[in-house]
Structure 1
Amino acid sequence: MNHSKATALPRALEAALWLLFALIWFGSLGYRGLIHADEGRYATISLFMLHSGDWITPRLNGLLYFEKPILQYWMGALSFAAFGVNEFAARFWPGLTGFLSVAAVALTARKLWGVDAGRYAALAAGGMAWIIANSHFLSLDMGVSFFLTAALCGFLLAQRDGASRAETRWAMWITWAAMAGAVLSKGLIGLLIPGAPLVLYSLVNWQWAFWKRMHWLSGLALFFALTAPWFALVSERNPDFAHFFFIREHFERFLTTEHKRTGAPWYFVPYLILGLLPWTTLLPRLVKEGWSDRAAGLRVGRLLLIWSVFIFAFFSKSSSKLPSYILPLFPALALLLAHSFSRMAPRELKKHMILPALLWLALLFAWPFAGRFANADSPPDVILPFARFIAAGAALFLISAVFAWRALGRQQMLAAVAALSFGSLIAVTLAASGHDSYGRLKGSKQIVAQIQPYLTPDSEIYSVRYYDQTFPYYVGRPVTLVEFVDEFEFGERQEPQRWMPHIGQFVERWRAAPKAVAMLGDDTYQELQKQGLPMKVIYQDPRRMVVAKP
């Protein structure tokens, strides 16, 4: 443990910084409308779970949906119950779990290496672009990343030198409970990701003693007490669940390209480089220091490095890739950064400020030319507001970088890291908020507001050969799909009465309906118009339109 004297910092100031961090972190959650696809999907499942009162069987737009486990849907439904149906409530769970991830690495670094290391860990994680971005976007990945981080931190605290038997027992119980949370958030990676790095660590370092201190009996009992009830209940009510969830959504997703989320082996490299900002150029130092960890007991640096490399390699090998899959490695890198910052001379950090400063400076200089990126799909009134937010974020980061540079000149390392962290937090938050102008083309908030007079309780609502995941959320009820399958294949096969596989069925039903509304693309509209189907366009943008029965 590092017993060096901690940087003097009044408790009131530290508390004020945490409060400021929380206000910025949570304050922007509700600013943007939800977008297609993840945000609409998970908000819709949670909202309709609350409406239906069925807390066991998840449904997407009224159809059985078993691609992921239940925990995030529960948290989303509880959030809607607590805060009302709004964007803040929809994003509260990823926002909360992101915040708790920052707190977890802060507490762990403090216990392992001292007070300053805890502060550096909070600043490293709280300013990391990929953690910020994913904490303010509704998907499953921040939730599962938090539980994996909690499992990692629990293990490190349990196995650290000087831990009492009681501390080891309680910390390992936290680890087992966190793995249960990860499994209930996203499936078997909740066991694989904590387990595989530990096996690799033991093989590389030939350390096996900690396996005897895992509290296997009570830990496994706790794990299965938390996970088994839901899996048993959902399987009892839905006999096809187990095969679909465990075989198709785990093994086939990893081994095949069925989900059409392929990518080159270096797919995640740019996300690692950009996601680690503003600390990206410190990565080689972290690798060197982590691998050279020569601690007599648990080599924390090596374990964190092996954890990070395994996650990166595992998802790089997978046949199904999405940018946020590698998110669980970033809190581990924040711990490595905390240990590195606490031993780094202030002058060494100066050179690592150059890359983030140049990137934000480039975005600031690109602002006057943003209109050149406009096209038919993304018109100027979408691009220009987005560019203004990015430019404002860039300017504020550059101002914070100046403060950091001056602090380093005065040997104030903690103040410099704090300036860079808060500058990054504000810059990324502003840039993400600016996406709302672009996001309006990827969501239905404005659409539903405009067509509200046509959405009476007896209106039939359709989505024809096109589906915006946010449409049923903002409408507040399921819409009938017409000739649209995609991820609904399982649900449509199980309950064929809930959708229309042929557009002819829709035409017949539309003619008979007293009131009806449909979202569709221009090609489908032209086709139906040629058939003489009575339709009135009540909304249109470059990507889709909504029609009502006259």
Structure 2
Amino acid sequence: MSSLMTQEMRLRATPLAASQLIYVSLALALLTAIWFLLPAGRPLTHPDEGRYAEIPREMLVSGDWVTPRLNDLPYLEKPPLQYWATALSYKVFGPSEWSARLCLTLSAWLNVVLIFLLGRRLWDTGTGAIAAALLGSSLLYFVMGQLLTLDMTFTFLLTAMLCCFCMAQLNRISARRASGWWMLLSWAMLGLAVMTKGIVALLIAGSVLSIYMLWQRDWDAWRALRLLPGLAIVLIITVPWFVLASRANPDFLQFFFVHEHLQRYLTDNADRVEAWWYFIAIFAAGTLPWTWQMSSALLRGWRTTAPRGQFDVCRLLWVWCIFLMVFFSVSGSKLPPYILPVLPALALLTAARQTSTPMRSLDLSAWILIASAAALIAFTLIAPNALDNPVVRSTAYEARPMAVAYALTAAVAALFYYRAAKKEQRVGSFVSLAVGWFLGLSLLFATVGRDGELRSGKDLTASIPTELAARAPMFTVFTYDQTLPFYLQRTMILVEYRGELDYGLQHEPEKGLGMEEFQQRWRAAPEAIAIMPHLTYEQLTNVGLPMRVLGTDRYRVAVSRR
């Protein structure tokens, strides 16, 4: 693959001096420490973070590793790989916000490392560094690397599969044995991806590879697939759980494959309908401050870098990005994280094309960084006096010191950028802006959104006496905040609520109550706890239901029987 490296890249690919290597190592260690410390203490948010923190906790408590359960009800929407990993994190570190998010923060960090290593292998260290900088500082990637969902783990496994596939193709002539091992590892990553979010991983991998091979006429890629042993690896990884889950839940296969895959993709039954251009908008915002560079790479990336019949990594990366964008755009269900797997491949493609991008295009990224700092300061100064929303007003007021720190960080990053750009140091220019943007986003996550009442039940649970919560029946009426069971370390009895727990309630209906039965059980119980919206509390007070308020937040009231 040496032909992929231009003469300019070779001239710039000089090794770092010992002193520079020390500074770079210390900087990377600091950035890594910041990344892994950010999740600590930040309240889990409803619904996704509460859900994906609670399911592993219940797995660990019950010892049932086959059927994921949410609020002690079967929850079979996704395979259990991340649940298993998070349960292991709880086993080692204990249940906490940090250990709940460890799997995704580690996945995000490993993704950046993978992109750097593959960029260095394909081109040079500078290209790998730019790709890693682009990926780690992109807005959507950073945010989703801190919020507990399944998408970052899924993205890491798909990226690992793609990287291993590229390594197999690079070695298919010079080192066939090594190529075979890389290809088998790629199949293993595919199997693990299936165990994270389902068979969509198979569809993505198969479609991208087929389109690439037909377009590039790279038939040797097909010969290097190790198809039969690869499929065997995928089956060994995936089939045991599917068999066990279907035995434990007789209608699992129909629910999982038809309802959660086909119907969710082809229909709007998930209530996530968006316009056809939805992911274009998400892409434009999510790739900040690199929107221009990444968009340019996406528009121009189809051009060949290798003759037909030979492995063309840039064309493969481009097909990957375009297919994912189109595939999720035509879906009947859309959420911002769905296009997350586009970003690692696109960061690598952008870095590979960066020598054909004018340096002045980075000026736009620098101005985006400066403008974001100015906008943040303006918001914190204007919002407390101009807006009526008390949450926004208090958040804006409390964020003022952070906004100043953000502005100083942006100014220093811009200064380093202009010094590097003046010397035409392309790698230094990218990295300066990337570090500035990364630190600015870190400041935001370290200070804003730590209010326990902001989309979280953490503060409300703190108002409930621990001993009472451990022994008394606990009801949740007309609502279900998915963070509550995690912070209470117990499940709750649902009253007049179904939502996404409908599948579980169909199979275990005794775990849900109507309002009349709830009132009967409440009056008969010597002690009990209930959580309900403010309006429901007022209505039940008016009918004489005996309740004592334990605590309130903006949305709910926690009451006890006496």
TM-score bin (small chain): over 0.9
Partner of 2:561: 549
The Cα shift of 1:372 comes to: 5.1
The Cα shift of 1:523 comes to: 1.8
Which of 395, 404, 417 is the equivalent residue of 2:430?
Answer: 417
C-alpha contact 1:350 1:408 (8 A) present in aligned 2:
no
Cα distance in 2 between the residues matched to 1:383 and 1:112: 45
Cα distance in 2 between the residues matched to 1:471 and 1:89: 17
Cα distance in 2 between the residues matched to 1:310 and 1:387: 42
**One-letter code aligned to 1:411:** E
- In structure 2, relative to structure 1, the CA distance for the partners of 1:414 and 1:488 (3 Å cut) is same
The Cα shift of 1:438 comes to: 5.1
Which of 208, 219, 230 is the equivalent residue of 1:219?
Answer: 230
Cα distance in 2 between the residues matched to 1:234 and 1:316: 31
C-alpha contact 1:72 1:93 (8 A) present in aligned 2:
yes
Tell me the alpha carbon deviations over residues 279-320 of structure 1, each in whole angstroms, 9 at most, x when there is no partner. 111134313441223312222222212211111111111111
Whether 1:309 and 2:316 are equivalent positions in the alignment is: no
C-alpha contact 1:135 1:142 (8 A) present in aligned 2:
yes
For 1:100-499, what aligned pairs fall within 5 Å after superposition?
100-160=110-170, 163-296=174-307, 297-341=310-354, 346-371=359-384, 374-376=387-389, 378=391, 380-386=393-399, 389=402, 392-437=405-450, 440-452=453-465, 455-499=468-512
**One-letter code aligned to 1:42:** Y
Tell me which of the two structures has the higher relative contact order, counting C-alpha pairs closer than 8 angstroms and 6 or more residues apart: 1
State which drifts further: 516-525 or 113-122. Answer: 113-122
C-alpha contact 2:43 2:451 (8 A) present in aligned 1:
no
The runs of 5 or more residues in structure 1 that have no matched partner are: none
C-alpha contact 1:35 1:440 (8 A) present in aligned 2:
no
C-alpha contact 1:98 1:142 (8 A) present in aligned 2:
yes
Question: SS of 1:104's equivalent?
Answer: helix
Question: SS of 1:8's equivalent?
Answer: coil
- In structure 2, relative to structure 1, the CA distance for the partners of 1:370 and 1:19 (3 Å cut) is same
The Cα shift of 1:379 comes to: 5.4
C-alpha contact 2:76 2:252 (8 A) present in aligned 1:
yes
Which of 22, 35, 47 is the equivalent residue of 1:12?
Answer: 22
**One-letter code aligned to 1:253:** R
The Cα shift of 1:442 comes to: 0.9
C-alpha contact 1:388 1:434 (8 A) present in aligned 2:
no
Cα distance in 1 between the residues matched to 2:174 and 2:281: 39
- In structure 2, relative to structure 1, the CA distance for the partners of 1:404 and 1:380 (3 Å cut) is same
Tell me the alpha carbon deviations over residues 43-101 of structure 1, each in whole angstroms, 9 at most, x when there is no partner. 00011111111111110011010011100100110011111111110100000000010
C-alpha contact 2:370 2:411 (8 A) present in aligned 1:
yes
Q: CA RMSD in A?
A: 2.0
Whether 1:69 and 2:75 are equivalent positions in the alignment is: no
Partner of 1:536: 548
The runs of 5 or more residues in structure 2 that have no matched partner are: none
**One-letter code aligned to 2:442:** T
C-alpha contact 1:117 1:342 (8 A) present in aligned 2:
no
The Cα shift of 1:42 comes to: 0.6
State which drifts further: 299-308 or 204-213. Answer: 204-213
C-alpha contact 1:367 1:391 (8 A) present in aligned 2:
no
**One-letter code aligned to 1:257:** D
State which drifts further: 412-421 or 210-219. Answer: 412-421
**One-letter code aligned to 2:515:** I
Question: SS of 2:490's equivalent?
Answer: coil
Which of 48, 70, 79 is the equivalent residue of 1:60?
Answer: 70
Cα distance in 1 between the residues matched to 2:394 and 2:419: 39
C-alpha contact 1:376 1:542 (8 A) present in aligned 2:
no
For 1:72-83, what aligned pairs fall within 5 Å after superposition?
72-83=82-93
- In structure 2, relative to structure 1, the CA distance for the partners of 1:234 and 1:368 (3 Å cut) is same
- In structure 2, relative to structure 1, the CA distance for the partners of 1:445 and 1:528 (3 Å cut) is same
